[in-house]
A and B are shown apart, each in its own frame.
Chain A
């Protein structure tokens, strides 16, 4: 049974600071997704990581994947208020079936 664990589950940070969200998963997979969800809204795809060592960046967010360690990170650089949201990682367990972590609720304060 594939387990996907994110930490921290809650993150409060000040504008301008850096932080990293971690996503660990329990079985082999070579495809990992990061999604953003604003309160009351649906999920928005941020990154798809397809191979070991993959790194993708968009604005102040950078995601990486280490398939050997079964670990993905989402790094936030110089946070701004607009980044406040819940961030989910999801792992493809095979057969294009995604399993989600519990999410990290990020609050960026001025």
Chain B
């Protein structure tokens, strides 16, 4: 089966600019996650979707980050305006109901550098 697709792979922007990341989960996976991984740290959950509804966005900085999952398939994560501390790898993961017992499948990530 095809994996979790993310784009772009790399992005460099100046602070105060905006940026958007895209994720296409594995077909049929109802749950989609966005994680932020700062260099040298473990991934931190930003938002969890179940189909097109938000399950948990308690750690999403809502003043600058937004995410949507229209039609319960693809998802986009946006940052506006970006700050230097947003430099990180943004990982998308998906899982099916059965997948909870097998681990989640992660995409390759988008590496964001804010200068």
A98 lies within 8 A of B104 (CB): yes
Of B45, B56, B103, the contact of A33 (CB 8 Å cutoff): B103
Contact A102–B91 (Cβ < 8 Å) = no
Q: Which residues of A contact B103 (CB under 8 A)?
A: 33, 35, 45-48
Q: Please give the distance in Å from B63's CB to the nearest CB on chain A.
A: 21
Interface residue? B107 (CB, 8 A): yes
- Using C-beta atoms within 8 Å of the partner chain, give the interface range for chain B: 20 to 34
Contact A42 B42 (CB under 8 A): no
Interface string of B51-91 (1 = CB under 8 A from A): 00001100000000000000000000000000000000001
**Using an 8 Å CB-CB cutoff, how does the interface string of A45-83 with B read, 1 for contact, 0 for none?**
111101000000000000000000000000000000000
Q: Which A residues are CB-close (under 8 A) to B41?
A: 102-103
Q: Is B34 engaged at the interface, CB distance under 8 Å to the other chain? A: no
B42 adjacent to A45 (CB under 8 Å) = no
Question: Which of A43, A46, A47, A92 has most B Cβ within 10 Å?
Answer: A43
Q: Which residues of B contact A (CB under 8 A)?
A: 31, 33, 41-45, 48, 55-56, 91, 93, 95, 100-109
